[in-house]
Structures are given as C-alpha cells and as structure tokens.
Amino acid sequence: MSTGDALSIRPQTPNQIQLSELAERFGLAVAGPGDGHAADTAVTGVSLDSRDVRPGDLYVGMPGAKRHGAAFAAQAVALGARAILTDAAGAELVAEAGVSIPVLVSAQHPRELLGDVSAAVYGTGDYDAKVFGVTGTNGKTSVVYLLAELLRAAGITTGLSSTAERRVSDEVIPSNLTSPEASELHGLLARMRERSVEAVAIEVSAQAVVRHRLDGVHFDVVAFNNFSQDHLDEFGDLESYFAAKLALFTPERAARGVVVVDSPYGQRVARESQIPVTRLATAYGQQAEWHLAVTSQTLDGVSFVLQGPEGAHFRGSVPVFGSFMAENAALALIMMHEAGIPLERVAAGLDRGRIPAYIPGRLEEMTQPGSTGPRFFVDYGHTAGAFEAMLDALGEVAPGKIIFMFGADGDRDTTKREEMGRVAAVGADTVIICDYHPRSEPPEAIRAQLLDGARGANHATVIEEGDPRRAVRLAISLAEPGDVILYAGPGHEDHQEVAGQFIPYSARDEVRGALREAGLLS
C-alpha cells in the first residue's frame, strides 16, 4: 500500500501532550496570542515542513540555510497547526505574520530540541522494537533492505527507513532524504509501534548524526561497512566526514556495533568505538570475530559462507552480483546475531539460504535475468568507491565488454569528479558520460571534469553524450550479446534536478523503453 503524495508516515491514533508539559520539560517560554490558555493546548504531531502539517501539529519553525521556517507559519496554521516552536527570531516572524496560536520560544537552536520534543509528542521514548542503524559511504541502503528481508525471514515484523523509501509493513512512501529529520523519524516510529513492528532498520547518513536527526533514538545495533570520499562540500575534509560516522559508535547513541575491518578506516572504527563491537573481515588473514568467504559468483548473484564465534555460521546467496553484496548480507546477519536473533532462525525462513532481496535501483537488472543478449543494470552509485566495487565485480563476472554510463551531481562535492572518471575508465571498456542532476552548474562543466579523469586513465573508449536518454540508446547500440551495460547514478529516482526545476525522469523507465525499442525486452 502506498500512501500517495504524503511526505511523512504518521500514527493514526496519535499520542497527545500539553504545551505546559513541553514548556516545563524543555525550558521553553510560551508567547503569542492567547497566552492565558496556551498551557492547556495539546499537540498530537510535529512537523518541520509547513507543507506537511497535519491538524493538531506542533509546527517547528527552524532557521535554515536558505530561509527561516517561521516565515511559513501562516501556511502551517492554515493546515491545522495548533502551536509553533521556534527561536527568538522566528517568534518575531510569527508575530509579523499575525497568526493566533501559542508559540513556544527556545533559547537553543530548535534543531537541538527537535528529537527529544518529537519523542515526547509521539511517545516513542519507550518503544521497545529492536532498532538497527547502518552507516558507511556505500551500501547502506543495500544493507538495510537485506536486513529487512532477513528479519522477515525470521518471522519478525519489520519497518525501514532508507534513501529509497520509508516502509511500515505494507505502507510505503518515497524518501526525500537518506535519514529523515527527527520529527519525521519519530512519527514513523510511532506508526511502526501502532502496526506492531518489532524491528526497524534505519540508514544513517553522516549528515543525520551532525544535524541531530537521530536524537531521541537509541540503537540496539549499529554497523559500519566502508568509507571513501564523499560529501566534502558539507564536511570540508575526510576526517570530519569520518568523525560524523564514528560518533554513532557511542553509548549515547547505540548499545553495540558491527564493523567491516577490511579497510584502515574500518579498523579505526573498531579501535576507537566507545561501545563493544564485533568485527567482520572478508580479506584473508585479517583479525576478526567473523569471516566471510565468497564461494561463487555470476552476473545473477553471489553465494557465500559466513563463520563467526562459537560455531555460528550461515551459508547463503543474494540474487545481485558483486562480492560486496555478500558482505552487505553478512553485515545484516551479524547485526541480527548481535541483537540476539539466532542465524538458524533466519535460515529456517529461507529456501536453502537464498535471500530474496529486491533493492530498488541498486544493481537492478532491466533486462531479463539469464538472458543471452546484452544485460543492462541501473544503479545508484555516485562515488569513486562504489564505481570501483561494481566494476571490479563486473570484471569477474561479465562474459563480454563492460559499457559504463554515468554523470555527477551538480552543487555537491566537486572534488570527487576526476576520480570518478578515472575509476570508471580503468574498470570499463567503454565509458559514456552524461548528465545527472546538474542543479545550478553548467552541465558541460561537470562533464568536462569527469571527462578529464576518464581520458587521463588512458584505458577505456570515452564518449560524451550529455542527454541521458540518448546516452541510454547509444549504450544499447554499442552492446553485443554477453556485454554488460551499467548505468550508475539515478537508481530508484524519478527526476532530474536542473536549475532549480525537478524534471520527471526515471532511468529505469527510460532504459526499459529503450530496450523494448531495440527488441531486447518484451
């Protein structure tokens, strides 16, 4: 069941709390019209976005990078907000807007209170579901989906929050952020409790940690998979980006952790973690409690054996190519083991260890699995690290040539582009560079940086075709039976962001259409 155009999933029978209680618990001043009765007002939900306000909400008018949320107070009231929480500057904006509902004024940045206030409003503080968090640079969404699938196999009712979707049993909405703002997260958790969800898998971005999006949530188990360059536009340098991920491994946030220690960054997390961690190694000779061995891999999937302490073991397979997918599955399995869910219980719910994972837009095949013609995969990878992992994997399993098409985000970490181009051209036979989300940048300037990196590698044939629709058709025209086309970037997305406009574009639909035109898909 999809919940239509909703921006957030909320409980149907909400908790309610008096403003007087919120004011007292969080040291807030109550101002605005109707002061005399303000303390008697009750709120039933929290929204940070005036467009997503539901009747009874506390609307949190937050200062942002571009504007002050309190400037949207009138819209919030029109949609049924019962009170506003904001800072002193916001209170003035609310007064100017002439809205007549109580205003809670915080001396702190409202973001610092949002998690705890939302937990108080939604009553999620004592929700006793197992909560799992996954962080790292590449593969978080994949681990979260695998975890949800494995939890289901163990007979556990599951919810998830990822870059692609938020999901409560059969209720699904598309996501706008990898990690939702705290108000949305607690609303989602409250709905999960209503639906008797027993375990929640949450994808955790570094931005979520530093922007208080996880406040009021305590994880039973967190995992770290890998780390490579990304988001330097936000964090400035790799060390700050890493520190944001490491901060998840503290007692305030989580009880225990699982860490892939193949890389020096993973080893650092294991060493510097402030909570007990167990380690997973896929490299031979690496010290760890858990070891993963890939037993076979083809374009149709990967099989593995996982061995842990005290005889714990699991033999399984994932229907997506790449040894890193086995690693993602292993991480999910160890997280469950750490949460006290026996691996035997998971295995009992699967057919010979086959994990029936569908991960939207992650190495998702657009052609028919097993077909003898060219095979076409759409992916969400947008870092050099993800490109390298995928192209290494394809190098092992692709029967023919590898044709790799991709673009890069505008207005995001520009320093990673040359390396993306280089890695692509080292791993593929043909590279087609097209546009992704140029945002406010000239698309040809983004392409030029990618092309520089790709041409500098002196390996693949490098082609520039800005229009992704034409690039898809070009890739198909170049492919022969046995060849693999991999289109990285757009994954599950349904739009291109160009100069402030969201233009409808689904790479998956486009590719399917082009394959039909070429007679490669019925």
Ligand X SMILES: Nc1ncnc2c1ncn2[C@@H]1O[C@H](COP(=O)(O)OP(=O)(O)OP(=O)(O)O)[C@@H](O)[C@H]1O
Ligand Y SMILES: CC(=O)N[C@H]1[C@@H](OP(=O)(O)OP(=O)(O)OC[C@H]2O[C@@H](n3ccc(=O)[nH]c3=O)[C@H](O)[C@@H]2O)O[C@H](CO)[C@@H](O)[C@@H]1O[C@H](C)C(=O)N[C@@H](C)C(=O)N[C@H](CCC(=O)O)C(=O)O
Residues annotated within the binding site are 48, 50, 136-142, 205, 213
Q: Which does 219 bind (CB under 5 to 8 A by kind): ligand Y, ligand X, none?
A: none
207 binds, among ligand Y, ligand X, none (CB under 5 to 8 A by kind): ligand Y
Q: Strand 17-18 vs strand 42-43: parallel, antiparallel, or unpaired?
A: antiparallel
Taking a C-beta distance cutoff of 8 angstroms, is the pair 218, 251 a contact?
no
- Burial zone of 457 (CB within 10 Å; 0-12 exposed, 13-18 middle, 19+ buried): middle
55 DSSP assignment: T
Cα–Cα dist 220/216, whole Å: 13
CB-based contact 56:45 (threshold 8 Å)? yes
Residues 6+ apart with CB under 8 A from 357: 145, 146, 149, 318, 319, 320, 329
Distance CA 19, CA 26 (A): 10
| Closer to ligand Y by Cβ: residue 375 or 382 | 382
The residue nearest ligand Y at its CB is 64
Is 212 a binding residue for ligand X by CB under 6 A? The answer is no
Given the rule CB under 6 A, which of 64-72, 151-159, 267-275, 484-492 is the region that contacts ligand Y? 64-72
- The CB density around residue 451, as the number of other CB atoms within 10 Å, is 20
- What pairs with residue 220 in β-bridges? none
- Site residues (CB under 6 A) for ligand Y, limited to 42-61: 48-51
Among residues 44, 50, 178, 317, the one that binds ligand X under rule CB under 6 A:
178
State the nearest-atom distance from the C-beta of 235 to ligand X, in Å. 14
- Cα separation, 412 vs 254, in Å, equals 30
Known binding positions for ATP: 136-142
By a kind-dependent CB cut-off of 5 to 8 A, residue 379 interacts, out of ligand X, ligand Y, none, with ligand X
Question: Which ranges of 443-502 does DSSP label H, i.e. alpha helix?
Answer: 443-456, 468-478
Residue 333 binds: one of ligand X, ligand Y, none (C-beta under 5 to 8 A by kind):
none
Site for ligand X contains 68 (CB under 6 A)? no
User: Can residue 181 be called a binding residue for ligand Y (CB under 6 A)?
Assistant: yes
Among 44, 142, 205, 449, binds ligand Y (CB under 6 A): 205
Asked if residue 254 lies in contact with residue 214, where contact means CB atoms within 8 angstroms, the answer is no
Question: Where would I find the beta strands (DSSP E) of 338-472?
Answer: 364-365, 375-379, 402-406, 430-433, 461-464
Q: Does 390 bind ligand X (CB under 6 A)?
A: yes
Q: What is the dihedral of CA 489, 493, 497, 502, to 10 degrees?
A: 170
Q: CB under 6 A: which stretch of 132-140, 146-154, 240-248, 473-481 binds ligand X?
A: 132-140
With CB under 6 A as the contact rule, the residue among 68, 111, 130, 140 that binds ligand X is 140
CA angle, corner 18, sides to 13 and 22, nearest 5?
110
- Site membership for ligand Y, residue 497 (CB under 6 A): no
Alpha-carbon Rg of the chain, whole angstroms?
Answer: 24
Smallest gap from Cβ 78 to ligand X, in A, equals 34
Q: Angle 223-229-230 (CA atoms, 0-180°, nearest 5)?
A: 85
Strand-pair category, 17-18 with 364-365: unpaired
Helix ranges restricted to H, 48-165: 73-78, 88-97, 110-122, 140-153
Q: Which of 76, 150, 346, 386 binds ligand X (CB under 6 A)?
A: 386
Tell me how many residues contact ligand Y (CB under 6 A).
Answer: 19
How many residues make contact with ligand X (CB under 6 A)? 23
The dihedral through the CA atoms of 325, 328, 330, 332 has a sign that is negative
Residue 84 makes contact with ligand Y by CB under 6 A: no
- Binding to ligand X (CB under 6 A) within 76-105 occurs at none
Measured from the CB of residue 146, what is the shortest distance to ligand X in angstroms?
9
* Cα 11 to Cα 4, 121, 169, 293, 454, distances in angstroms: 16, 11, 13, 43, 49
d(CA 185, CA 213): 8
Question: Given candidates 181, 184, 365, 379, which one binds ligand X under the rule CB under 6 A?
Answer: 379
Contact range with ligand Y by CB under 6 A, out of 171-179, 300-308, 450-458, 465-473: 171-179
Candidates 47, 50, 161, 163; binder of ligand X (CB under 6 A) is 163
Instruction: From 82-90, 240-248, 373-381, 473-481, give the range in contact with ligand X by CB under 6 A.
Output: 373-381
Determine the interface stretch with ligand X among 29-37, 76-84, 148-156, 378-386 (rule: CB under 6 A): 378-386
Least distance between ligand X and beta carbon 388 (Å): 8
Distance between CA atoms of 239 and 293, rounded to whole angstroms?
Answer: 31
Contact 450, 407 (CB under 8 A): yes
For position 282 contacting ligand X by CB under 6 A, the verdict is no
Member of 142, 178, 228, 496 binding ligand Y (CB under 6 A)? 178
Determine the Cα–Cα distance for residues 187 and 43; give it in Å rounded to an integer.
Answer: 13
Binds ligand Y by CB under 6 A, chosen from 207, 229, 250, 274: 207
- Beta carbon nearer to ligand X, 44 or 323: 323
Does 328 bind ligand X (CB under 6 A)? Our answer is yes
363, 405, 423, 462: residue in contact with ligand X (rule CB under 6 A): 363
Q: List residues binding ligand Y (CB under 6 A).
A: 48-51, 62, 64-67, 69, 72, 177-179, 181, 205, 207-208, 234
Binding site for ligand X (CB under 6 A): 138-142, 163, 178, 203, 205, 225-226, 324, 327-328, 362-363, 379-381, 385-386, 389-390
